[in-house]
């Protein structure tokens, strides 16, 4: 790393010497812009790579030798940095030019204190005379020798009036003669100024001045010193030759006569020496420790510092590049040294030659702790009081701390300034871009409006106005360009959508195109998806058809009555309102709990009802009346007058018309101990384990395609309970140690399975098939791992398995439309809102009220409630009238913003899958991180929907078999409608084409968009999309 000052002066040098074009090209070569978006900061370090790339670019552009460029830049650096305010610092480094060279290490150490990451070079001066010196230069950066020469020549000329300093390269790493650069530096002879003589008063030895007598240091015993001898301060001074021998006098060393005179009058005591230099170190010729200061002893005694220890074991040189050798250290002279102790503390000081009391040569190191701030000082268990008062290191530490605070504030201000500059530049560009965008939008709008008339969209787009709005908003938030055709389409979609923003626009006219004019298929899909009346190609409702449908419903109610003792005839009021369509239910909402009120009415209830009236336009307030009306019909022992249901009356007029009296109920008898003799054979068989022929089929459960008919054969018509018990057992949700709980689960599964009627399609085989599909989607498809989140995986998994098991419990083989138009009790209980699906859940949870079936007994209420909420959400999601609502909410939560379009028959191929993130028109939508509660619920609902339509992803033979069974069940409903003199639903008349003719439309409108959206969010499930496409192309 190099200091930002280097980068600043380099830019100025290139600009001033070679021009703006060369600088611009150099910055671009380094990947930077001109002018710089973020200016260089002088006190910040930057990577060496930028320096080398820029300089090489300049050298290549101007075609000059690198040595010349670097030398010129070195001289320019001195001039530029002086003008920037660094001249005083450079002029104060040394008294003369040689002292400056010796002080370069000290200067870099100062700079490195404030520039973290700075890697300083190393300089060493040897063989100094009046006119020359040998300079050693070491640096991890290659090729900077000419820069050092230019810099030193510039300093000599600027601050020391030496205009003819020459550098002769003796050795270099370039020619392999050395691992660093060595120059012989020649300069003019400089006359030295000798310090003036100073007269010292002679101190007499008396009782009051005994401590100041001239006594050799080693004659005193140092209290607490572990060493048996000490150094002599008298010999601590290296007496260097004078100018008379031809050597240059070192201004950093004291004059010999002055020292001798001073020592005759005063010599410090050993205790005072230890106090003045607590971090000194003495080593002998063998580089073994002789003694150390009190500060070092206190800090390093635990690390093994003691007399006789090798200094190299406890101290390492950081500056200069030196080894622990006596001769080499003796030649350092006044060079600054930086030692790193074994405990991590750095000591800055210098070495001087001295002699021991026995006359043996030694080296004395005197220094101070080098710390950047008070934090580092405390990390070494040091305090400011540990530093002698005469040592200004403590002042520097405090100043550094203050400077750091100021530097942080200055840095923040500089960064703010840079951010303001960047913001201003962005605003300028944004203004320009906005002007261009405005012009472009105006032109695009004019073009879109010009082609709007007569434009027909031939692709089937299942995106609702709500999804189109969200996707357009995402584009705007991301700053993407918006196509005005999309804006106009959204505008038209919102205007034509009315109150329903989650249904695809112009769905009726597009269904006509998909079904190729087959009115039965078209009407069937419209009723299935609860799309209301048909629409013309302009998307406007055909009011005539709406009136006809209302009149048909009114006549239907007029012609029907309930049979039996508790039948209630209908009287029709002329004030009739159109049926209210289904509402969009939030997956997190608890409104479904209101649909389960019957679970608290136990068997044997004696309820007396006085009937009220219900209007055709039902609201939530009328749901309780319908619920209790159905209860009155089902519960034995109910009495009460017959009433009439006035379809014209409002719910408010029904208040007080219904009275319920609940008598004392007998306590329900429960079985606390389940004995083997009480267990039915089929229940006991479940707990005992599956035979081999069943196990061989169950081994294929993990495959993407499965034949549930085969499972039904080998289990003797027990596919659902066998599969569910096996899955729960395999995943540890059936505890072997609790046999009663295991039996309760087996009883519950068999009870639910027995509740599936022998319908051609909605039977126990279908329930087993859905269970198996959902199991694979959750496990192999990775959905379970994604939706579990912080919840226990077992809770989510158990809820999903229960949902699949009960999702068509007690299905009557007819759809919700039949229940509604025949005024079935379920339609009245649940206000025409998914009566069949609500009954599946309600009846299943009522069964759990029986002790012998309640396998959740003993679970914490919090877990039971969580399971119940999930089951309700998942089962109700199978109501196809909520299809577009759920698809729209799932797309808004998971979709990346691309449209979902379905292919035409024969066009869907495996090649459209790509990387598994969806078919053409989709981008990868898999959400990383955890999902929120609404997203988890939506993911489980979509998984349930995919599983419920799983026969579309079966093998071709199995798929055909299911289609035939579905067609037969539809025909049976048509037979019932004929018998009840009701209009026959589309595709349910035996005398016409059946549901097999609607498969292409159902794939296009419902199945493929569903699987595309789901597998885009969960790519591991892409196999179900491939299988569906295969059947679609069949």
Of the two residues 404 and 506, the one the predictor is more confident about is 404
Mean pLDDT across the stretch 606-628? 34
Per-residue pLDDT for 850 more than 50? Answer: yes
DSSP 673: S
**Which ranges in the chain are annotated with CATH 3.90.1520.10?**
95-190
Q: 223: pLDDT confidence band, cut at 50, 70 and 90?
A: very low
For residues 752 and 843, give the distance between their C-alpha atoms in angstroms, rounded to a whole number.
9
Instruction: State what percent of residues in the chain have pLDDT above 70.
Output: 68
Instruction: Determine contact, residues 362/356, Cβ cutoff 8 Å.
Output: yes
Residue 867 CA from chain centroid, whole number? 29
Q: Does domain 217-391 have CATH number 3.30.450.260?
A: yes
Give whichever of 327-331, 525-529, 622-626, 751-755 has the largest mean pLDDT.
751-755
State pLDDT tens for residues 433-478: 888 878 877 777 777 666 655 554 545 566 677 777 777 777 777 7
* Selected residue with higher pLDDT from 10 and 589: 10
Lowest mean pLDDT among 514-523, 892-901, 935-944: 892-901
830: which DSSP letter? Answer: T
Superfamily of domain 95-190: H-NOX domain (3.90.1520.10)
Flag whether pLDDT at 842 surpasses 50. yes
Do 912 and 470 form a contact (C-beta atoms < 8 A)? no
Distance CA 196, CA 190 (A): 18
Q: What six digits make up the tokens of 18? A: 């070679």
Residue with the larger pLDDT of the pair 772 and 566: 772
498-519 average pLDDT score: 62
CA–CA gap between residue 671 and residue 978 (Å, rounded): 47
Residues in CB range of 206: below 8 A, 6 or more apart: none
Whether 317 shows a pLDDT value over 60: the answer reads yes
Per-residue pLDDT, averaged over 550-570, amounts to 39
pLDDT value of position 556: 41
pLDDT at 912: 43
For 485-581, list the strands marked E by DSSP: 570-571
User: Which comes out higher in pLDDT, residue 752 or 44?
Assistant: 752
Please state the rounded mean pLDDT for residues 263-275: 74
Residue 246 burial by Cβ neighbours in a 10 Å radius (0-12, 13-18, 19+): exposed
Contact 775, 701 (CB under 8 A): yes
pLDDT, position 207: 35
pLDDT tier at 11, thresholds 50, 70, 90: very high
Give the three-class secondary structure for 310: strand
Burial string for 447-465 (b: 16+ CB within 10 Å, else e) reads ebeeeeeeeeeeebbbbbb
The pLDDT value recorded for residue 599 is 34
pLDDT at 260: 58
* pLDDT class of 393 with cuts at 50, 70, 90: confident
Fold category of 681-1032 in CATH: Catalytic domain of cyclic nucleotide phosphodiesterase 4b2b (1.10.1300)
- Dihedral sign for Cα atoms in the order 968, 972, 978, 982: negative
The b-or-e profile of 475-486 (16+ CB within 10 A means b, else e) is eeeeeeeeebbe
pLDDT one-digit tens code per residue, 144-172: 999 999 999 999 999 999 989 999 999 99
Q: Grade residue 498 by pLDDT with cuts at 50, 70 and 90.
A: low
* Strand 645-646 relative to strand 570-571, pairing: parallel
Place of tokens 């044997």: 604
Confidence tier at 907 by pLDDT (50, 70, 90): low
Cα dihedral 655, 658, 661, 666 in deg (nearest 10): -110
Taking all residues of the chain, what is their mean pLDDT, rounded to a whole number? 75
DSSP class of residue 207? G
- Give span(s): CATH 3.30.450.260, the chain: 217-391
The pLDDT tens digits of the residues spanning 718-756 come to 999 999 999 998 888 876 556 788 899 999 999 999 999
- pLDDT, residue 84, reads 87
pLDDT digits (tens, 9 = 90+) for 982-1012: 999 988 999 988 887 777 888 888 999 999 9
Of 480 and 879, the structure prediction assigns the larger pLDDT to: 879
pLDDT at 879 over 50: yes
**What is the C-alpha separation between 682 and 751, in angstroms, rounded?**
11
The whole-angstrom separation of Cα 818 and Cα 976 is 9
Q: How far apart are CA 979 and CA 254, in angstroms?
A: 128
In angstroms, rounded to a whole number, what is the distance separating the alpha carbons of residues 250 and 237?
13
pLDDT digits (tens, 9 = 90+) for 92-117: 888 899 989 988 888 888 777 766 66
Please state the length of the chain. Answer: 1034
End-to-end CA distance of the chain: 67
Q: Which residues of 144-154 are buried (b: 16+ CB within 10 A; e: fewer)?
A: bbbbbbbbbbb
Would you please indicate which residues are annotated as catalytic (active-site) residues?
762
Instruction: Tell me which of 190-194, 574-578, 889-893 is least confident.
Output: 574-578
Average pLDDT over residues 537-542: 39
Going from the C-alpha of 118 to that of each of 110, 641, 997, the distances in angstroms are: 11, 98, 78
SS (H, E, C) 335-396: CCEEEEECCCCEEEEEEEEEECCCCCEEEEEEEEECCCCHHHHHHCCCCHHHCCCCCCHHHH
Q: Which residues contact 918 (CB under 8 A, 6 or more apart)?
A: 924, 925, 1012, 1013, 1015, 1016
Residue pair 504/510 in contact (Cβ under 8 Å)? The answer is yes
CA distance 266 to 234: 10
- pLDDT in the model for residue 319: 87
Give the pLDDT confidence of 275-313 residue by residue, as tens digits: 889 999 999 999 999 989 988 988 998 888 888 999 999
- Per-residue pLDDT, averaged over 389-414, amounts to 80
The segment(s) of the chain belonging to CATH 1.10.1300.10 are: 681-1032
């Amino acid at each position: 790393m190099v200091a930002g000052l280097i980068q600043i002066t380099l830019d100025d040098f290139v600009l001033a010497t070679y021009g703006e074009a060369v600088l611009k090209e150099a910055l671009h070569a380094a990947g930077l812009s001109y002018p710089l978006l973020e200016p260089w900061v002088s006190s910040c370090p930057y990577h060496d790579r930028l320096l080398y790339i820029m300089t090489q670019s300049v050298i290549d552009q101007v075609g000059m030798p690198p040595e010349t460029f670097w030398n010129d830049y070195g001289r320019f650096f001195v001039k530029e940095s002086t003008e920037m305010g660094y001249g005083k610092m450079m002029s104060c480094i040394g008294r003369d030019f040689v002292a400056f060279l010796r002080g370069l290490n000290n200067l870099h150490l100062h700079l490195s204190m404030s520039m973290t990451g700075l890697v300083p070079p190393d300089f060493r001066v040897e063989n100094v005379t009046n006119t020359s010196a040998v300079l050693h230069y070491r640096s991890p950066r290659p090729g900077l020798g000419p820069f050092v020469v230019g810099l030193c020549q510039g300093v000599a000329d600027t601050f020391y009036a030496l205009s003819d300093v020459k550098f002769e390269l003796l050795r270099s790493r370039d020619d392999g003669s050395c691992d660093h650069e060595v120059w012989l530096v020649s300069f003019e002879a400089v006359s030295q100024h000798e310090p003036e003589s100073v007269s010292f008063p002679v101190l007499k030895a008396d009782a009051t001045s005994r401590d100041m007598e001239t006594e050799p240091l080693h004659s005193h015993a140092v209290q607490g010193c572990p060493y048996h001898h000490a150094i002599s301060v008298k010999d601590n001074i290296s007496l260097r030759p004078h100018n008379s021998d031809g050597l240059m006098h070192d201004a950093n060393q004291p004059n010999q006569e002055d020292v001798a005179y001073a020592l005759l009058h005063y010599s410090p005591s050993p205790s005072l020496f230890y106090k003045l230099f607590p971090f000194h170190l003495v080593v002998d010729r063998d580089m073994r420790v002789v003694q150390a200061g009190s500060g070092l002893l206190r800090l390093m005694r635990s690390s093994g510092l003691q007399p006789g220890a090798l200094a190299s074991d406890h101290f390492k040189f950081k500056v200069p590049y030196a080894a622990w050798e006596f001769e080499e250290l003796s030649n350092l002279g006044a060079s600054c040294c930086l030692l790193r102790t074994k405990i991590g503390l750095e000591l800055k000081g210098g070495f001087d030659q001295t002699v021991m009391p026995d006359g043996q040569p030694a080296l004395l190191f005197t220094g101070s702790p080098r710390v950047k701030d008070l934090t580092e000082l405390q990390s070494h268990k040091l305090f400011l009081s540990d530093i002698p008062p005469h040592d200004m290191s403590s002042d520097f530490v405090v100043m550094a701390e203050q400077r750091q605070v100021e530097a942080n504030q200055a840095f923040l201000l500089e960064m703010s300034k840079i951010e303001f500059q960047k913001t201003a530049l962005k605003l300028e560009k944004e203004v320009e871009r906005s002007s261009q965008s405005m012009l472009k939008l105006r032109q695009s709008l004019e073009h879109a409006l010009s082609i709007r008339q007569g434009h027909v969209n031939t692709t089937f787009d299942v995106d609702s106005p709500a999804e189109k709005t969200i996707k357009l908003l995402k584009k705007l938030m991301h700053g993407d360009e918006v196509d005005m055709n999309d804006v106009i389409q959204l505008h038209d979609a919102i205007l034509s959508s009315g109150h329903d923003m989650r249904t695809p626009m112009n769905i009726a006219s597009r269904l006509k195109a998909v079904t190729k004019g087959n009115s039965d298929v078209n009407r069937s899909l419209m009723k299935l998806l609860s799309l209301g009346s048909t629409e013309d190609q302009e998307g406007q409702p055909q009011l005539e058809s709406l009136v006809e449908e209302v009149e048909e419903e009114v006549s239907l109610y007029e012609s029907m009555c309930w049979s039996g003792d508790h039948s209630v005839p209908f009287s029709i009021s002329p004030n009739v309102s159109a049926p209210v369509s289904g509402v969009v239910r939030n997956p997190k909402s608890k409104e479904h709990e209101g649909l389960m009120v019957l679970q608290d009415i136990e068997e044997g209830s004696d309820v007396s009802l006085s009937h009220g009236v219900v209007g055709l336009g039902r609201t939530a307030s009328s749901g309780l009346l319908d619920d209790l009306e159905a209860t009155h019909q089902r519960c034995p022992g109910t009495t009460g007058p017959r009433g009439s249901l006035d379809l014209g009356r409002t719910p408010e007029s029904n208040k007080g018309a219904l009275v319920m009296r609940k008598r004392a109920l007998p306590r329900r008898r429960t079985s606390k101990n389940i004995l083997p003799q009480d267990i039915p054979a089929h229940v006991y068989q479940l707990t005992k384990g599956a035979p081999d022929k069943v196990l061989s089929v169950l081994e294929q459960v993990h495959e993407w395609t499965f034949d549930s008919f085969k499972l039904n054969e080998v289990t003797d018509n027990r596919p659902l309970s066998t599969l569910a018990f096996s899955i729960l057992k395999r995943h540890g949700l059936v505890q072997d140690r609790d046999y009663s709980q295991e039996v309760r689960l087996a009883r519950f599964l068999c009870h639910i399975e027995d509740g599936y009627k022998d319908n051609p399609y909605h039977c126990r085989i279908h329930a087993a098939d859905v269970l198996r599909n959902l199991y694979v989607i959750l496990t192999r498809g990775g959905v379970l791992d994604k939706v579990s989140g912080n919840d226990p995986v077992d809770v989510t998994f158990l809820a999903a398995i229960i949902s699949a098991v009960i999702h068509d419990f007690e299905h009557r083989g007819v759809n919700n439309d039949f229940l509604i138009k025949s005024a079935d009790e379920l339609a009245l209980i649940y206000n025409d809102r998914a009566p069949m699906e609500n009954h599946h859940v309600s009846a299943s949870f009522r069964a759990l009220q029986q002790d012998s079936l309640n396998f959740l007994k003993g679970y914490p209420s919090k877990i039971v409630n969580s399971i119940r909420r999930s089951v309700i959400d998942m089962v109700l999601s199978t109501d196809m009238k909520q299809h577009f609502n759920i698809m729209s909410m799932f797309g808004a939560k998971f979709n990346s913003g691309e449209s979902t379009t379905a292919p035409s028959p024969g066009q869907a191929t495996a090649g459209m899958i790509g990387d598994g993130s969806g078919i053409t028109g989709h981008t990868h939508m898999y959400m990383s991180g955890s999902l929120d509660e609404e997203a988890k619920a939506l993911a489980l609902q979509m998984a349930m929907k995919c599983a419920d339509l799983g026969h579309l992803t079966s093998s071709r033979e199995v798929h055909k078999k299911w289609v035939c069974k579905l067609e037969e069940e539809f025909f049976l409903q048509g037979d019932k409608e004929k018998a009840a003199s009701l209009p026959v639903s589309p595709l349910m008349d035996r005398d016409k084409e059946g549901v097999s003719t609607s498969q292409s439309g159902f794939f296009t409108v419902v199945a493929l968009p569903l699987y595309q959206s789901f597998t885009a969010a969960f790519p591991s499930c892409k196999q179900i999309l491939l299988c569906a496409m295969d059947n679609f192309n069949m």
